[in-house]
Chains A and B, each alone.
Chain A
Amino acid sequence: MSRPTDRAIVSTHYPTMRLVLPNPGLEQRIPDYEKVEKLEQQELQGRPKWDNKAQYILTCVGFCIGLGNVWRFPYLCQSHGGVTFPGAFLIPYLILLVLEGTPLLLLEFAIGQRLRKGSVGVWRAINPYLTGLGISSMLVSFLIGLYYNTITAWILWYLFNSFQDPLPWNQCPLNDNKTGYVAECQDSSTVDYFFYRVTLNSSSSIGDSGGIHWPMVVSLLAAWTIIFICCIRGISTAGKAVYVTAVLPYFVLAIFLIRGLTLKGALNGVKFLFTPVVEELINPNTWLDAGAQVFFSFGLAWGGLISFSSYNPLHNNCKNDAIILSVVTAATSVYAAMVTYTIIGFRATAKYDQCIDGNIVTLLNAFDLAENNITHGNYEEAYKHLNSTYPETVMGLDILTCDMQKFLSEGVEGPGLAFIVFTEAIINMPASPAWAVLFFIMLLCLGLSTLIGTFEGVIVPLRDLHVFPKSWPQEVVAGVTFLTAFIITLLFAQHSGFYWVTLFDNFAGSVPLLCIGLFEIVIVVYVYGVDRFNEDIKFMIGSKPGIFWQVTWRFVSPLIILVILIFYLVTQAQGELTYLVWDPSSDNFPSLASVPYPDWVYAVVFLLAGVPSLALPFYALCRVIYNRCNKKNDTQKF
């Protein structure tokens, strides 16, 4: 990489000072170009660094490609209720990825690589009053890490249970008299029952904690120890783990794509995915969710990316990295969505066939017709004929309407989607245990690789904030963090744990990320100074960022994020907050019932969303007050 020739002349005078807030003392806090070059050479022994470029890219890819693509993306598509076309979600997602995701990505990469620190260190170096932003990132990463690892625990539970034939979610247990199946299982389905009853033992409301469910505690223990061993030595172990966790999912997705496309009805699902629907594009909620999903899936504002790029060599080409990562993430999102929807298409077709079969049997039995009289082919005419000749009889029968569109867009709402839809599809494939093991290993890898980045964004700030004594080695710091996290996640092992996970996902993983992203971009552009930033990038990679980056950094990205944030807050504040519960006694069982949150949940929501978002102004305020008090004491001394 060619070094720019003018780096030796470091002047504090930048020719065109646009709108930049006054920031005295910046020069003392950050090393100038000469110093940072020298430090890099000396630092080669002290600071952790990547074994090779591939390890860095794989870690970032693993961080970005996670459960969000396979688990959150499909359920967001269907979370609006009614028939939602996922194609309508894909387009805003891709557009916002380019306008919002990529600029912020380069921003985080470049600032980490230039200032060579984790998220707290970077913002503290820019201005000590802004340390609160690093604290925000750390809190958000921690909260997200908590419930993300709980989902990993669910995945582990399913994985452990996949080593048997027949799979345990293939059959209902018998009731006490042995005359039939358990009512809850009979009314819903075997996969629903296995998820909500056997795995989680869900109570019917978030307030009803119902005690600890031991299988979940065991799974959580497994999940936390696995992530502990991956992070035990920081990136020297994590960097090796990603060779498996980041690469394996692609192979498994390919296998599932091939298997999926050979299944009956898969193409229905793929067609459904790519159907653009104009009405949905106008709906602001779609753009809201897409914007938040870009943040969630890119790992932006989590702090992990800043940390990772700070271990890079000083002249690493971070612009190319940002573009590569964006392209890879976008392509993988579409790829994973395609695989997901072939499976959804297969499941919908299987359900449709079952529905028609059921109706045919009912009709044959009622009218005592020969078995081959009504087939799938002539079902419609036969039904019409019978309905017109014997309308009273037909009305008395239990004929269900079989609507393929309904099955495709069926509200398997909420975080249970991956565990219900996919497991149902898997039991219909031959050699199901093998497919189940493969699928859950893929999910495990996806989850682990993201968690590695998440906890990088927690542990490094904790060290930077001197929460732990400096003498404690990495193993002990990691151990204490994960132990604390395990104890907190026992909250999710309760019978109401599923509702807590949904709560965390809705509030900790949306608003704070948008706030932090907005602050980040505003601070770098207007406090650090976009001109200085451009010079930094020119120093590191040899060329100044082009017009696309300038326009997006200065106007487009902050504006988009601000608009999404405002819309989001407005829509949330307007309605009553509701959530979905698994309640066997509700009217619409087995559909999830929509129930309003109890009042105390609003306090929790404020903790989850408000505290991380407000950490920056709060910390700045505290520091101002503290300094004022100190100054008063100082003046009083004289």
Chain B
Amino acid sequence: MLEKLLILLFASNVLAQVCMPDAPEAYKVRLSIKTALGDQAYTWNDNELYLFRATLAFAMRNYLSGQLFDVSNILVCNETERVSFWFMVKSVTNPTTLIEKQHVENAIKESRHRINSAFLLTDQTLEFLGILPTLASPFVPATPPWLIAFGVVMGVVGAGIVYFLVAAVVQRKRKKTLDEEEEAKGATENEIAGENLDGIYNTSFSDDEKVTEM
């Protein structure tokens, strides 16, 4: 009887320490090293896995301050060629229990950037399935750049319009004074209207309309 109890205790102990995929406390990790680094991709081997476990331990230490996590607290299983695997975190205080998903998730979120940098990867190439990456908000400058461009263009165009209008007014004034001087001298009027503006309708044709009988 006692032996059975001992075996059961031993078995549960072992079970608690064996990593299983799809366990409630387990996360799947996927690395896309070749996509991220191309030619400079490093090969995934046990040393890299050791680094991963160390980085995770570092993240857990930062999150649960006081508890000194070690590489042995991080259990890894089901490694594949894809470079994906499952991991679980054992508690420091109670080696038979596992840390809950929420704590693991928060720890990873806090130290995500450090974890990525350790492997020269990004949020998209080092995926923790189930943990959404916090997206960097797009850079929004203080003054919208389009306003600046608009201001420049409108300024130039406005200046041009003012120039043309002023020039036209000045020209007209000059002609008026010229005409007045000519009249004062008694010169005969020009047949053609003195104004040299474009688009003045030639009046010689419109007279013909009176003749037309329809």
Contacts and interface: CB of A to CB of B under 8 A. Distances in A.
Interface residues of A, number: 66
B62 to A, nearest CB: 22
A430 B153 CA distance: 26
A163 B148 contact: yes
A31 B207 CA distance: 12
Nearest to A470: B201
Q: Which of A221, A236, A473 has the most CB of B within 10 A?
A: A473
A229 B139 CA distance: 36
Given A174-B137, A180-B132, A229-B161, A121 B150 contact: no
A277 interface: no
B205 A474 contact: no
Given A173-B138, A371-B32, A371-B33, A46 B200 contact: yes
Q: How large is the interface on B (under 10, 10 to 19, 20 to 34, 35 or more residues)?
A: 35 or more
Nearest to A370: B81
Contact of B212 (A28, A361, A369): A28
Nearest to A121: B205
B161 A225 contact: yes
B204 to A, nearest CB: 7
B102 interface: no
A470 B45 CA distance: 89
A473 B195 CA distance: 10
A182 to B, nearest CB: 11
B150 A627 contact: no
A29 B135 contact: no
A39 interface: yes
B144 to A, nearest CB: 8
Contacts of A371: 32-35, 82-83
Interface in A101-158: 116-117, 121, 125, 128-129, 156-157
B132 to A, nearest CB: 6
Contact of A178 (B135, B164, B200, B214): B135
Interface string A160-195: 110110100001111000111100000000000000
B130 interface: no
Interface stretch (A388-396, A458-466, A499-507): A458-466
Interface string B180-214: 00000000000111001111111011001101111
A161 B145 contact: yes
A232 B146 contact: no
Contacts of A473: 168, 172, 197
B157 interface: yes
Nearest to B160: A229
B134 interface: yes
Given A28-B211, A125-B205, A477 B199 contact: yes
Contact of A235 (B139, B198, B204): B198
Interface in B136-182: 137-139, 141, 145-150, 153-154, 157-158, 160-161, 164-165, 168, 172
Given A28-B208, A43-B202, A371-B33, A474 B197 contact: yes
A234 B35 CA distance: 60
Given A45-B192, A365-B82, A474-B199, A160 B212 contact: no
A48 B82 contact: no
B61 interface: no
A159 B149 contact: yes
Contact of A627 (B32, B147, B199, B214): B214
Interface string B78-115: 00111110000000000000000000000000000000
Contact of B150 (A28, A222, A234): A222
A368 interface: yes
Contacts of A47: 200, 202
Contacts of B82: 364-365, 368-371
Contact of A234 (B30, B191, B198, B208): B198
B213 A25 contact: yes
Given A161-B145, A371-B32, A232 B161 contact: yes
Given A160-B146, A222-B154, A371-B82, A25 B214 contact: yes
B121 to A, nearest CB: 13
B22 to A, nearest CB: 14
Q: Which of B30, B150, B192, B198 has the most CB of A within 10 A?
A: B198
A218 interface: yes
Contacts of B33: 371
B154 A372 contact: no
Contacts of A160: 145-147, 149-150, 153
Contacts of A435: none
Interface in A243-275: none
B201 A464 contact: yes
Q: Which of A232, A236, A372, A470 has the most CB of B within 10 A?
A: A232
Closest 10 interchain pairs by CB? A234-B198, A368-B80, A160-B146, A370-B81, A160-B149, A48-B198, A368-B82, A371-B34, A164-B145, A171-B138
Interface of A: 25, 28-29, 31, 39, 42-43, 45-48, 116-117, 121, 125, 128-129, 156-157, 159-161, 163-164, 166, 171-174, 178-181, 218, 221-222, 225-226, 228-229, 232-237, 361, 364-365, 368-373, 459-460, 463-464, 470, 473-475, 477, 623, 627
7 contacts: A29-B205, A45-B192, A229-B160, A233-B164, A234-B198, A365-B30, A463-B199
